[in-house]
Amino acid sequence: MEKERVIVAERRAGAALPACLFAWLVPGAGHLYLGRVGKGLVFLGCIGALFVLGVAMDAGLQMHLGFDDPLAFLRSLAQMALGAPYFLARAMGFEAGRVTSVTYEYGNTFTEVGGLLNILVILDAYDVAVGRK
């Protein structure tokens, strides 16, 4: 019995890294990988919708690394937490956004909050993987 428990704990610990990686790459994918399909689909739908709506509202997706503008750096980190969709959208030419658009700041907020929520989702995937949830 004790041996089985150790094996299960080792498997869970082994699943934590890929679960977190998948959760970062695609919102909800970590939970799908861990068999929490319902939760995974909710995260994929909601965070995906926040990102897509944000880009549709002309959000800027510029990558700002460095501390010369700390707020822009934090903003970039938040957006990068969305993983593959962020880099895909940049590669598809949505990087600049449209500063003159009325909804530019709304778009920024949608994409940044989507990324911040995805950080919470990654931490939740870790908790599920190690058996805390």
Partner 1 sequence: MIGSHLLALLVFSALASVVFATLLREDQKNRVRFALMTFGAFVLSAIVVGWLMFPFPD
Taken as a whole, the chain contains a residue count of 133
d(CA 76, CA 72): 6
Size of the site for partner 1 (CB under 8 A): 21
Residue identified by tokens 């929520």 is 117
Binding to partner 1 by residue 104, rule CB under 8 A?
A: no
We find the least distance from the C-beta atom of residue 33 to partner 1, in angstroms, to be 17
49 binds partner 1 (CB under 8 A): yes
DSSP, collapsed to helix, strand or coil, labels residue 50 as helix
When binding is defined by CB under 8 A, the residue of 15, 20, 29, 121 that contacts partner 1 is 121
- Tell me whether residue 70 or residue 131 sits nearer to partner 1 (CB atom): 131
State CA 101 to chain mean position distance: 25
Among 24, 33, 94, 110, binds partner 1 (CB under 8 A): 110
Residue 56 makes contact with partner 1 by CB under 8 A: yes
Contacts of 106 (CB under 8 A, 6+ apart): 54, 57
Instruction: Return the structure tokens found at 87.
Output: 């880099």
Residue type for position 43: F
Point out which residues bind partner 1 (CB under 8 A). Answer: 39, 42-43, 46-47, 49-50, 53, 56-57, 102-103, 106, 109-110, 113, 117, 120-121, 124, 133
